[in-house]
Amino acid sequence: MNLLQQKLAKYTTPQQAKSAGVYPYFRAISSEQDPEVIIDGKKVLMFGSNCYSGLVNDPRIKEAAVEATRKYGTGCAGSPFLNGTLDLHKKLEARLAEYIGKEDVMIYSTGFGVNLGVVSTLTGREDYILWDEQDHASIIEGRRLSFSQSLKYKHNDMESLEKQLQKCDPDKVKLIVSDSVFSMEGDVAHVKEMVELAKKYDASVMIDEAHGIGVFGEGGRGVCHAQGVADDVDLIMGTFSKSFASLGGFIATSKEITNYLRHHSRSYIFTASITPASTAAALAAIDIMEKEPERQENLWKLTNFALDGFRQAGFEIGNTSTPIIPLFIRDDFKTFAITRDLLDDGIFVNPVVSPAVAPTDTLIRFSLMATHTLDQVATAIEKITKVFKKHGVIA
């Protein structure tokens, strides 16, 4: 065993969890991603998906993907910078620009790649990136790759953000970057106040709408639209892997910014383009979300029902007001054990433990799709309540 293997062999946390029978990751699903899935031949209610629109198994989405594959093949065999740009990609970019209400859009191969490639590229050595301490890992990695000065502000705390802005040289570029809906605890960013501070201190704002699109705003356009400040947000990021029921991501902004990014953003230039199937699926999803507002309406009906149900049962759910509902446990091992027991009882949820959160903030992440039914949600609340009581988390 060489030195690298010796060093990494000391990491045995997964093996310990497996020995204890509570390892909760890489659970193989042998069916479509629907409100009900098949795991080990058993039907399980899915409350761990990010497809808030519920479109991931829609026959119209699948047919669009199949037709694109028939026409263009299975891949592009190159980056968009060289041979990997299809007319279908340009069509999606134009459609997204119209949908989000920005001059131009660039599509990336993944949502992670968007934040990595945009945040790391836009600002220079003497500039500033100001970021929420609970921003998504992709924003954190983009910030780490940047040569700019990095200023962290307290989670969703606009007073803390203003104090950090006051530290900046007024003549240098200042980029504020935040999630719109924070993916672990489901709370919503104060984007309107962020925009007001940006105007006061001559800063720019980038908002990650990965968990906001399909949930908030007319036609599911996101939190920026719902708060009435989309025109004032300089860059709006989105991913196709959630409500768009596909894979990939985009940045919507001005033509001046996309012109620079197209020629400098490494995760764009040096990554193969998204597949024709993924592109067509995202295009179809936009049309459906716009034409079927009842999906979004049902999602909120389910969300309010679940929020009320968990509160009445005595769960600690933090500041969420979205289809992402954190069920706090505050103990790593109990979180794993509860996840196992729930799967045994036919409920799929996601455990969130350290280092994704502090050891005192571990939780079960319960998330909803527009295609769930009230009966399914009620069943899940009943079973989750029973397991949490068994482990002494709630009275």
Residues 238 and 98 occupy one common structural domain = yes
**What is the β-pairing status of strands 324-328 and 363-367?**
antiparallel
| pLDDT score, position 1 | 85
| pLDDT score, position 358 | 81
Domain count across the chain: 2
183 is catalytic: yes
Residues 267 and 353 occupy one common structural domain = no
CA 250 to chain centre: 13
264 is catalytic: no
> Which of these three, 291, 307, 332, is where a domain ends?
291
CATH number at residue 24: 3.90.1150.10
> Which of these three, 263, 291, 319, is where a domain ends?
291
Residues 221 and 283 occupy one common structural domain = yes
CATH number at residue 261: 3.40.640.10
Per-residue pLDDT of the chain (395 residues; tens, 9 = 90+): 899 999 999 999 899 999 999 999 999 999 999 999 999 999 999 999 999 999 999 999 999 999 999 999 999 999 999 999 999 999 999 999 999 999 999 999 999 999 999 999 999 999 999 999 999 999 999 999 999 999 999 999 999 999 999 999 999 999 999 999 999 999 999 999 999 999 999 999 999 999 999 999 999 999 999 999 999 999 999 999 999 999 999 999 999 999 999 999 999 999 999 999 999 999 999 999 999 999 999 999 999 999 999 999 999 999 999 999 999 999 999 999 999 999 999 999 999 998 878 888 999 999 999 999 999 999 999 999 999 999 999 98
| Given 174, 225, 242, 334, the catalytic residue | 242
In a domain, 54, yes or no: no
In a domain, 8, yes or no: no
Q: Residue 150 gets which letter from DSSP?
A: E
Residues 281 and 312 occupy one common structural domain = no
| Given 102, 174, 211, 334, the catalytic residue | 211
In a domain, 52, yes or no: no
**What is the β-pairing status of strands 347-348 and 42-46?**
parallel
Q: CA dihedral defined by 127, 133, 137, 139, rounded to 10 degrees?
A: -30
Residues 40 and 137 occupy one common structural domain = no
Residues 329 and 240 occupy one common structural domain = no
Which range marks the domain in which residue 264 is found?
59-291
| pLDDT score, position 52 | 97
7 is catalytic: no
- Using the structure block, give the residue that is written with the tokens 């005595």: 314
Angle (CA) 395 384 347, round 5°: 165
Considering Cα of 55, then 98, then 226, then 182, what sign does the dihedral take?
A: positive
| Given 49, 109, 148, 183, the catalytic residue | 183
Distance CA 218, CA 234 (A): 20
